[in-house]
């Protein structure tokens, strides 16, 4: 039998001691969906395996997920599964990520047995049993999402877990649209939401070098002083960021400027999502960190060039946004909605796209020219592709701001909205409104990030066609929020 190179010390011991023994101990009972954690002290130094009895299933499909073991669904009570094999004895093979699973049939009335051999003080192992074919420790396909960062704060999101309830579409003859100052949908009930926990650490803590499992990452953050010292979740809530669905949102503080962080989210204690990378901004950008916080609008959450919110609030939201900013914005939206309703049209999508675009141009997003020297040197892995330059424009103080209501802000660098944010309005809205976006190969790049998302305009700016506004490695190319 060939074993992958990446198996832990546990396997080595396994092969040094090739026992076919009877268990000395009574098996520990496992329950479905409740993982059991083993640490160094639990592992046997003799050839005696640690034995576990599998729970009796209500359906015959049982999946064992964990790190390293032999399992048996044999009807013979005598069988202790082990390296010598035998009928109905299986080895659970670990992948390079440090995770293994095995699905088999367990007949009613038969007690399955799981045996763990060897192990050392440095090892740690988590075992979970579930019914059906999804292993309890199955990694999530989606990585967390990066909202934005300042020098020492970041807005991070879990992968989406629940699609939004579709808004009732206006139908003939009753065309109404949501008010300009829309009320946010109420979050789903707690029992319908998975439990997500955020783990992040600077690259120097090397979380990505650990086995990519929930238990290894959690232990890595908890036990590493570099990881544990930094980063604190200041606030969290459920947030419907976009049509992909509800996410858990975290506002994280106490970060170090100009540092590349790796981020994981763990669902229900066992399912790992990540890594996502992001880099904090430098401390010497005037507006960061002392004056900038993250503004939260329905689908917006990024660093804006505004003073610290009043009453020491952590962020701007509908309740503390200055009237000088909110009132004109709501005026535009109300007037736009009124024009829309002058004809009988199915225009909810148009209003949504317009709101999104209006917020993106009214609230400029702070960006920063990449400090390639300092950030890329910390990298452990190669950059996957040549990343185009982001759509950044310097905004010297004293220059007339794009949004006059912002007032006289200090120097900052703006990350321009993606042109596709404008084109979405053009596409969704009726022609009579006369909404027009600038042409990609002409004037657009003065006010928009051009050529990042749609390949059609890829020859203009950026030098690459990534097809996205931002990626998992922490590159943010234009503002799609």
Return the number of the residue (174 or 186) whose C-beta is nearest ligand NAG.
174
Least distance (Å) between residue 408 CB and ligand NAG: 4
Q: Where are the beta strands (DSSP E) in 106-184?
A: 113-116, 124-131, 145-149, 154-157
Q: What is the CA radius of gyration of the chain?
A: 27
Least distance (Å) between residue 442 CB and ligand NAG: 27
CA 103 to chain centre: 28
Distance CA 436, CA 425 (A): 9
Return the number of the residue (83 or 269) whose C-beta is nearest ligand NAG.
269
For residue 127, the cross-strand partners are 36
- Put the strands of the sheet holding 154-157 in their side by side order: 145-149, 154-157, 245-253, 232-242
Return the number of the residue (165 or 181) whose C-beta is nearest ligand NAG.
181
Least distance (Å) between residue 451 CB and ligand NAG: 20
Return the number of the residue (14 or 287) whose C-beta is nearest ligand NAG.
287
Phi-psi domain of 435 (left: phi exceeds 0; alpha: psi -120 through 50; beta: other): beta
For ligand NAG, which residue has the nearest CB? 331
Distance CA 300, CA 326 (A): 14
Return the number of the residue (198 or 419) whose C-beta is nearest ligand NAG.
198
Q: Which residues bind ligand NAG (CB under 6 A)?
A: 28, 36, 38, 41-42, 73-75, 88, 99, 101, 104-105, 107, 135, 138, 168, 170, 174, 176, 181, 183, 195, 197, 203, 260, 269, 277, 279, 318-319, 326-328, 330-332, 335, 375-376, 379-381, 383, 397-398, 408, 473-475
Least distance (Å) between residue 338 CB and ligand NAG: 7
104 membership: H or E segment, kind and range: strand 100-105
Distance CA 28, CA 21 (A): 17
Least distance (Å) between residue 376 CB and ligand NAG: 5
Residue 162, C-beta contacts closer than 8 angstroms, at least 6 positions apart: 188, 192, 193, 245, 246
- Longest alpha-carbon distance in the chain: 84
Least distance (Å) between residue 440 CB and ligand NAG: 26
Return the number of the residue (67 or 251) whose C-beta is nearest ligand NAG.
67
Least distance (Å) between residue 471 CB and ligand NAG: 9
Q: What does the DSSP assignment read for 220-287? A: HHHH-HHHHHS-EEEEEEEEEEETTEEEEEEEEE-PPTT-EEEEEEEETTTEEEEEEEEEPPPTTSTT
Least distance (Å) between residue 254 CB and ligand NAG: 19
Phi-psi domain of 161 (left: phi exceeds 0; alpha: psi -120 through 50; beta: other): alpha
Return the number of the residue (279 or 447) whose C-beta is nearest ligand NAG.
279
CB-CB contact of 116 with 38 (8 Å): yes
Least distance (Å) between residue 168 CB and ligand NAG: 5
Least distance (Å) between residue 216 CB and ligand NAG: 14
Question: Up-side HSE of residue 67: CA atoms within 13 Å toward CB?
Answer: 26
CA quadruple 207, 211, 213, 218: dihedral, nearest 10: -40
Return the number of the residue (9 or 36) whose C-beta is nearest ligand NAG.
36
Return the number of the residue (114 or 444) whose C-beta is nearest ligand NAG.
114
Least distance (Å) between residue 242 CB and ligand NAG: 21
Cα 36-39-41 angle, rounded to 5 deg: 120
Distance CA 360, CA 194 (A): 31
Return the number of the residue (45 or 397) whose C-beta is nearest ligand NAG.
397
């Amino acid at each position: 039998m060939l074993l992958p190179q990446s198996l832990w010390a546990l396997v080595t011991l396994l092969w040094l001691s090739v026992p076919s023994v009877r268990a000395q101990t009574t098996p520990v009972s496992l329950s479905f969906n409740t993982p059991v954690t083993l640490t160094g002290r639990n592992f046997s130094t003799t050839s005696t395996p640690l034995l576990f009895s599998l729970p009796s299933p209500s359906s015959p499909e049982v999946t064992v997920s964990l790190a390293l073991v032999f399992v048996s669904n044999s009807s013979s009570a005598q069988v202790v599964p082990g390296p010598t094999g035998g009928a109905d004895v299986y080895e659970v093979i670990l992948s390079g990520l440090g995770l293994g699973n095995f699905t088999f049939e367990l007949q009613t009335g038969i007690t399955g047995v799981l045996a763990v051999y060897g192990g050392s003080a440095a090892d740690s192992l988590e075992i979970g049993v579930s019914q059906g074919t999804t292993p309890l420790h199955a990694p999530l396909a989606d990585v967390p999402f990066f909202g934005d960062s300042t020098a020492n704060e970041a807005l991070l999101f879990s992968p989406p877990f629940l699609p939004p309830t579709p808004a009732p579409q206006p139908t003939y003859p009753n065309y109404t649209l949501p008010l300009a100052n829309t009320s946010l949908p109420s979050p789903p009930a707690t029992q319908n939401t998975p439990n997500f926990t955020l783990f992040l650490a600077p690259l120097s803590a090397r979380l990505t070098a650990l086995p990519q499992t929930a238990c290894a990452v959690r232990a890595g953050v908890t036990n590493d002083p570099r990881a544990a010292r930094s980063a604190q979740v200041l606030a969290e809530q459920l947030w419907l960021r976009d049509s992909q669905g509800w996410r858990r949102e975290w506002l994280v503080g106490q970060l170090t400027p100009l540092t590349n962080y790796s981020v994981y989210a763990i669902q229900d204690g066992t399912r790992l999502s990540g890594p996502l990378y992001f880099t904090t901004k430098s401390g010497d950008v005037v507006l960061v960190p002392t004056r900038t916080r993250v503004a939260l609008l329905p689908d917006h959450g990024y660093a804006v060039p505004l003073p610290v919110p009043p009453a020491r609030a952590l962020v701007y939201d509908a309740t503390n946004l200055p009237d000088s900013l909110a009132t004109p914005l709501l005026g535009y939206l109300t007037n736009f909605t009124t024009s829309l309703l002058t004809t009988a049209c199915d225009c909810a999508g148009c209003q949504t796209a317009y709101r999104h675009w209006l917020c993106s141009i009214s609230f400029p997003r702070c960006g920063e020219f990449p400090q390639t020297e300092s950030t890329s040197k910390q990298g452990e892995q190669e950059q996957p592709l040549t990343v185009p330059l982001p759509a950044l424009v310097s905004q010297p103080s004293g220059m007339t701001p794009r949004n006059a209501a912002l007032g006289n802000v200090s120097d900052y660098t703006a990350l321009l909205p993606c042109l596709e944010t404008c084109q979405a309005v053009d596409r969704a809205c009726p022609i009579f409104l006369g909404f027009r976006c600038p042409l990609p190969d002409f004037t657009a790049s003065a006010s928009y990030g051009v050529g990042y998302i749609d390949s059609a305009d890829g020859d203009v700016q950026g030098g690459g066609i990534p097809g996205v506004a931002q990626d998992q490695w922490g590159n943010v190319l234009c503002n799609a929020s």
